[in-house]
Structure 1
Amino acid sequence: MKIFTLKSDLKNYLAAEKKKGNSIGFVPTMGALHKGHLSLVEKALSKTNITVVSIFVNPTQFDNKEDLDKYPKTLENDIKLLESVDCDVLFAPSVEEIYDENVVAERFDFDGLEHQMEGKFRDGHFDGVGTIVKALFEIVEPDVAYFGKKDFQQLQIIKKLVEKHNIPVKIKGMPIFREKDGLAMSSRNTRLTKEHREAAPFIHRILKKARKKTGTKNAKEITEWVKNQFENHPLLELEYFTIAEEKTLISVDKFEEYKRYRAFIAVFAGEIRLIDNVRF
């Protein structure tokens, strides 16, 4: 596996590969890699000639500096994991390499997608996401980029970014990877206490039960039921639960035929914030 830390070196290498007619697959990450990330890498490896993974903990998408400081950084182990699946290229730049001296986010208009759910609770988060993803796309110039559906709102926003800025890349959303007990895999899971880790699968169990109620209850009633399930939980605190149309991400009170819906949830397990979603 080739490892690059400088934009110019990576661009030169990939330009030469493209001249040979090789297609480029791209998996952007913030490191602390797990099986979910590796499933994206393996998909890219199977569909494109050269697979590039980036590891970059992006400061402009954190609204909480403490969360940024505590975000797990495991580069040595990440390299071993990428080598184990025969990844072609790792791009691991410094903050200065990406932002120079100006560590601020661009402002983006994602047609309202950015104001729903995560956007209501994480100020400026999606400006930071848009800034780094756009910058990485300009550096790597991939043919296809792969993202997990755990961050479904982010996936929709990246599709909108590509559409509005005419970026020539296909965006592929891949299924959520889960632990055996149902907990959605996340780099933040490593920071859970033993107690909170044991409690966390409750989140996915509730989502599955909520989905079963769609035949008899409307969206508003299901939302109230979910809130009640968390009300007296001793270890998990619900931040939000909402049922939204997949395309617009706008929350709904009732279901309409021929529209696709997804339930979204954010929960605090102690100081660790966990998100998940399921299609309804």
Structure 2
Amino acid sequence: MTTVPLLARTREELSSALSEARSQGRTVAFVPTMGALHEGHASLVRIARERATDGVVVVSVFVNPLQFGEGEDLDRYPRTLPEDLELCAREGVDVVFAPGVEDVYPGGEPEVTVAPGELATVLEGRTRPGHFAGVLTVVAKLFGLVRPDVAVFGQKDYQQLALIRRMALDLNMAVEIVGAETCREDDGLAMSSRNRYLDEEQRREAASLNLTLRAAQEGATYGVDVALDAARAIQRGTNGVDLDYLEITDPDLKPLPDPVPEGTEGRILIAAWLGQTRLIDNLPIVFGTPPEARTPAPPDREADPQNPTTPDRDGDS
């Protein structure tokens, strides 16, 4: 049985929808989204419900213009509110907050924004300057409007998650930030609202992103260089994939130590263009014994990228 969520379009409607829960001290769990919801978002909602069993789950649907740069896909970003409401109803969401731009930015583009710091200058920030200032500003505003106890974000946008956690810590925001594992299609492609832009050939090629990350995970047994070589071997076998970056960092997106001790954890991150569509993904990685200290020598990773030895998909749910 589904429950139709209350749809709040304005700040006042949102405040009214949450007033009873706040007065009773019930937990408010929040999932911020830009809409075009899919099963990945549904998994975030389920985590939010687990954290607020007797509380209120709020999902926001807002395409934030502040985080789109010149020439990016703000105008064509999918807006599917009726379908989004159906998914929210199926997942038992209590309140959907779908404001207009004037409700989030009542004075126009804000003069005061959140400065994301040095972490916003690498990876996505290097390619999309100003993006994370827009992300953190809208998340801070949504936190102020919803006043959640807990907020759930996906790990697909790993740099975004790291920055939101840092913002909550540095600005003493009384909200717990939960990072949820990436939901994937059967071929390993990370679920994304932008996947719908891909044509049939691009969709087939997009599966190489996950294969690339998996190859690096396997190669990490032999160290950083082998992990990157294994990943690049997969990318060399693709057509129509324009690599933006492929990098390995520590879990906080900082450089790895040199040398990398055995058992060190890291993150491998990828971004690539397929036609006019830009996709990102990442996976955790653990490093083994450096190759010079290991026998026998590491296997040849120049294998056919269409027949890799890595698993087909990960265990993300």
TM value normalised by structure 2: 0.83
Counterpart contact for 1:152–1:277, Cα < 8 Å: yes
After superposition, the Cα gap between the structure-2 partners of 1:111 and 1:103, relative to the gap in structure 1 and judged at 3 Å, is: closer
Counterpart of 2:235 (choices 230, 238, 246) is: 230
Residues 1:15 and 2:19 are matched in the alignment: yes
Q: Unaligned 5+ residue runs, structure 2?
A: 286-317
> Distance in 2 between the 1:225 and 1:238 partners?
15
Q: Which has the higher helix share?
A: 1
After superposition, the Cα gap between the structure-2 partners of 1:273 and 1:254, relative to the gap in structure 1 and judged at 3 Å, is: farther
Structure 2 counterpart of 1:29, one-letter code: T
**Equivalent runs, 1:225-264 vs 2, <5 Å:** 225-231=230-236, 233-247=238-252, 249-252=253-256, 255-257=260-262, 259-264=264-269
- Identity rate, percent: 38
**Equivalent runs, 1:107-186 vs 2, <5 Å:** 107-186=113-192
Deviation at 1:9, TM superposition (A): 2.0
Counterpart contact for 2:116–2:136, Cα < 8 Å: no
SS at match of 2:75: helix
Deviation at 1:202, TM superposition (A): 1.0
1:158-190 CA deviation, whole Å, 9 max, x = no partner? 001101111100000011000011000000001
Deviation at 1:47, TM superposition (A): 1.9
Residues 1:91 and 2:129 are matched in the alignment: no
Give the superposed CA RMSD: 1.7
Counterpart of 2:28 (choices 15, 24, 30) is: 24
Counterpart of 1:5 (choices 6, 9, 27) is: 9
Structure 2 counterpart of 1:17, one-letter code: A
SS at match of 1:70: coil
Further displaced range: 47-56 or 3-12 = 3-12
Counterpart of 1:38 (choices 1, 26, 42) is: 42
Counterpart contact for 1:105–1:127, Cα < 8 Å: no
Counterpart contact for 2:149–2:175, Cα < 8 Å: yes
Deviation at 1:152, TM superposition (A): 0.8
Aligned to 1:72: 78
Aligned to 1:210: 216
After superposition, the Cα gap between the structure-2 partners of 1:254 and 1:188, relative to the gap in structure 1 and judged at 3 Å, is: farther
Deviation at 1:197, TM superposition (A): 0.7
Structure 2 counterpart of 1:45, one-letter code: R
Structure 2 counterpart of 1:79, one-letter code: L
After superposition, the Cα gap between the structure-2 partners of 1:105 and 1:196, relative to the gap in structure 1 and judged at 3 Å, is: farther
SS at match of 2:36: coil
SS at match of 1:157: helix
Greater C-alpha Rg: 2
Q: Unaligned 5+ residue runs, structure 1?
A: none
